[in-house]
Copies of this chain bind each other. A is one copy, B any other.
C-alpha cells in the first residue's frame, strides 16, 4: 500500500530527565500540512504478576503523582539501560515486596499510549517465593505490600478499584490460562 507516514522536520526538547523527556515535533503530514506534535519519551518498564503458592497475588499500593492519588498495581519499575526486562521484573518484585520471582514467564509487551508516548510495558508472571532478605526500598519509595486472593484482585478490576492498564491486562492474562485469553500465550 501507499506509505502515508509523517515526515519529521524538527524535534525540540522542552524537558529531559533520567526518567523521561518531553519534545515537540515539527511534522509534515502526507497532505502537506505542517503541525506540531507533543511526545513524551519514557523508557520501558517491567511489571509482574506474582502468585504465591497459596494462590494469592502480591500487589503494591503507592502514590501516583499524575493521578494525585494512591493506586493498587502490580510490582513494576523501569528497565535499566542494558538490563533484560525479565531481570528488571524480578529485581523490582524483590525490592518492593521481598518476594523472589521463580519460573518467570513473559506474558506480552505493549505500548501504553501510542498517541502520546514512547513507553513500553513488559508484562510477566511468576511464582512469588518469600525471601527474608527483602524488601529493599529506595529512599524515595513508600510502598505498601497488599497480598490478596487472585479472585479478589479480579473483582477489584471489575468494580473499578484497580484501574492501571498494565495491572488489568496482567491479571487477565495470568488468570486465564485455559480460556480465550490463553490464546495469547
Binding site for B on A (CB under 8 A): 1, 4-6, 8, 14-15, 17, 19-20, 22, 24-25, 27, 29-31, 33, 35-42, 45, 63-68, 70-71, 73, 76, 108-119, 121, 139-140, 142, 144, 154-155, 157-158, 160, 163-166, 168-169, 172-173, 175-176, 179-181, 183-185
Question: Which of B27, B36, B180 touches A176 (beta carbons < 8 Å)?
Answer: B180
**Shortest beta-carbon distance from A61 to chain B in Å:** 8
Q: Known A108-B157, A142-B29, A179-B179; judge A38-B63 contact (CB<8 A).
A: no
Which 8 A-B residue pairings sit nearest by Cβ, starting from the closest?
Answer: A179-B179, A176-B180, A110-B165, A4-B142, A22-B22, A112-B113, A64-B114, A40-B40
**Contact B14–A39 (Cβ < 8 Å):** no
Contact across chains for B172 and A184 when beta carbons are under 8 A apart: yes
* A140-B29 in contact (CB<8A): yes
Q: How far is the CA of A41 from the CA of B121 in the complex (A)?
A: 19
Task: Tell me how many chains of this kind the complex includes.
Answer: 2
Of B33, B41, B118, B121, which is within 8 A of A140 by CB? B33
Q: How far is the CB of A141 from chain B (nearest CB, A)?
A: 9
Q: Which residues of B are found within 8 Å of A113, using beta-carbon distances?
A: 42, 66, 112-113, 117, 119, 165
- Give 10 new A-B contacts, CB below 8 A, not counting A4-B63, A41-B66, A179-B180: A5-B63, A15-B22, A29-B142, A40-B117, A66-B113, A66-B116, A67-B118, A71-B111, A154-B184, A169-B169
